[in-house]
Structure 1
């Protein structure tokens, strides 16, 4: 009589292979999710810039105030908060800031910045100022 089923060693090998696949798949999956969130932020900034260009600029409601423009993505839980502020030399800065408890709060790209003339930048978490553009944050390849 021949028994059917797995031996303990076969089961251990199968579990080791599954763990190895998961060890490579989960970080890759996480990178793709992060790329999707970044793409959503960049797309939202360009959409707002286009809307402001069609309206002939940015108007504040008071002295040096900015305005909240909603969140990205438009549906689902917010990942980035969008806002616009007047730039010191004229024009405006659009920003997409990760929400404090969101999935991108510790992202090295930090806050995305887009100026009225098309200048792009990234402000890392905890930094101030306009920041510098990071190609890996703006290029979605």
Structure 2
């Protein structure tokens, strides 16, 4: 009879209290980690757009060198690059390329241009603010401008 009692006294598995403690710990960790992860994703998508804006700026200057003037490339640059980004997947930004200051009626590019990426309403980036890059390499995120790390947090 003693072997039967020993068999019933040995426990295998976890108690309900132990499982509830583990679930509570996981919940606390998730509550801390998820907002941080969301900020990381937003920063990564902003960085992707910044890189794309630098590529557009390089292409503007490259085409200007090949064609001889900004007015010769103005229309083509605007149709090629003033679109929604990223080109694949969910589009997060609308890009515009304009002279600085504007030259109505057609806003033909000049040596002083500005690229603006505006977050699309209803997307994850909607509250992030406009990104701009001008011909001098000055970067702005909303109203904070400079030539170093203004696009970062």
Aligned to 2:134: 115
Q: Which has the larger radius of gyration?
A: 2
The Cα of 1:79 is off from its aligned counterpart by 1.1
- Rounded to whole Å, the distance in 2 between the matches of 1:119 and 1:137 is 9
The Cα of 1:136 is off from its aligned counterpart by 6.0
Gaps of 5+ in 1: 124-130
- TM-score, normalized by length of structure 1? 0.77
- TM-score, normalized by length of structure 2? 0.72
Structure 1 position 96 matched with structure 2 position 117: yes
More helix per residue: 1 or 2? 2
C-alpha distance 69-51 of structure 1, shift in aligned 2 (>3 A): same
State the number of aligned residues. 127
Gaps of 5+ in 2: 1-7, 65-69, 103-109
Structure 1 position 39 matched with structure 2 position 47: yes
Contact preservation (8 Å) 2:139, 2:150: no
Aligned to 1:76: 89
Contact preservation (8 Å) 1:95, 1:111: yes
Match of 2:22 among 5, 14, 28: 14
